[in-house]
Amino acid sequence: MNLTKFKSKPLLLLAALMIIAVAAAAVTPLPQNIDPTPGKAVEVSSDNPPVSDNAQAKVVKNHAISEGDTLEGIAVKYNIDVDTILGANPTIDENNLQIGDQLIILPSKGVIHTADMGDTLWSIANDYSIDIAAIMAANAKTSEALAIDEKLFVPGGKPLPKAETVVARADYQVSRSSASRFLWPAGGSISSQFGYRWGRLHAGIDIADDIGTPVVAAMAGRVVSTNWQSGYGYTVVIEHSRGYETLYGHLSEFAVSSGQYVRAGQTVAYMGNTGYSTGPHLHFEVHQGGRVIDPLNVLP
């Protein structure tokens, strides 16, 4: 703009300068990292903004043993416990640490479990007395499928006693006896045994007690169904590891729903007198591989 003609007219010159300033401001872009909202504090972002503590992913670390190290001291340093270190490093001799040896340090208290032949998430959850959902969440698993030698972090788990170590064989797996893996599903007295009566198989045992007596899962597993079954009345069926399935009949009320994972000893229902029943009791069945078996053969 030619300002010569405004020199003799100061007011016109001032107005022209103001117009130029306003126009320049209108085309100047705001910095992208500034929020123009009135009254709001402005924070200038950087190319590498800091990550909050909650956003930092927990990771497995390695620790090289140095002179003077003890497992207790290492545990304190990483805010875990000695059992967690031993569980993640099963071959280490805690009484003979070697300088330079590498230890696996887990992100929190727990153990690493290496899946073996026949392992399922249910059996692992039962072994360590933890909810299967917690294992799946800790390992970002979206399915129950396991591969041999797959390593799983079991949060809060403790190393299994040597006597309970699973022994793999050619096509199956043996652990501690089946009986020790089951719990009694309810208190009360046995009013009817497994076997034939009146010319037909009584496929379970009956445990008699008052209506409303808690009924618990005999093993950790997944609830297959909670519904009314002919003869059994209100019934819960739970699927377990190693081909086991348990049935709980003549119930008065459910405490779980179909598809839910349950731990051993968790209340799943309450004793009742529904269906074909001669009095308040729990009808309890155990199936293995599709065959019904005597529950007394596996109960402790």
DSSP string, 2-21: --GGGTT-HHHHHHHHHHHH
pLDDT of residue 42: 34
CATH number of the CATH domain containing 101: 3.10.350.10
Nearest partner of 242 among 123, 152, 131, judged by Cα: 123
Q: Find out whether 250 and 207 touch, Cβ atoms under 8 Å.
A: no
Q: How many domains does the chain have?
A: 3
Q: Find out whether 236 and 275 touch, Cβ atoms under 8 Å.
A: no
* Paired sense of beta strands 244-254 and 189-192, if any: unpaired
pTM above 0.75, yes or no: no
Q: Find out whether 27 and 20 touch, Cβ atoms under 8 Å.
A: no
Looking at the fold, whether 86 and 151 belong to one and the same domain comes out as no
CB burial of 85-94 (b: ≥16 within 10 Å; e: otherwise) equals bbbbbeebee
Q: Find out whether 215 and 271 touch, Cβ atoms under 8 Å.
A: yes
Determine, yes or no, domain membership for 52: no
Looking at the fold, whether 202 and 285 belong to one and the same domain comes out as yes
Maximum distance among all Cα pairs of the chain, rounded to whole angstroms:
126
Q: Find out whether 87 and 111 touch, Cβ atoms under 8 Å.
A: yes
pLDDT of residue 162: 52
Determine, yes or no, domain membership for 67: yes
Q: Is 13 exposed, middle or buried (0-12, 13-18, 19+ CB in 10 A)?
A: middle
User: Which residues constitute the domain of residue 166?
Assistant: 110-176
pLDDT of residue 284: 98
Determine, yes or no, domain membership for 13: no
Residue at which a domain ends, from 151, 176, 201: 176
pLDDT tens for the chain, 300 residues long, are: 555 554 455 555 555 566 555 555 444 454 444 344 433 333 333 333 333 333 233 567 889 999 888 888 898 899 888 888 887 887 888 778 888 989 988 888 888 888 886 678 877 887 888 888 889 888 888 888 888 888 888 888 887 765 433 333 323 333 333 334 789 999 999 999 999 988 889 999 999 999 999 999 998 888 999 999 999 999 999 998 778 999 999 999 999 999 888 888 999 999 999 999 989 999 999 999 889 999 999 998
pLDDT of residue 118: 67
Looking at the fold, whether 222 and 272 belong to one and the same domain comes out as yes
pLDDT of residue 132: 86
pLDDT of residue 45: 37
**β-sheet bridge partners, residue 114:** 151
Looking at the fold, whether 99 and 114 belong to one and the same domain comes out as no
Nearest partner of 224 among 145, 297, 287, judged by Cα: 287
Q: Find out whether 281 and 212 touch, Cβ atoms under 8 Å.
A: no
Nearest partner of 116 among 72, 154, 166, judged by Cα: 166
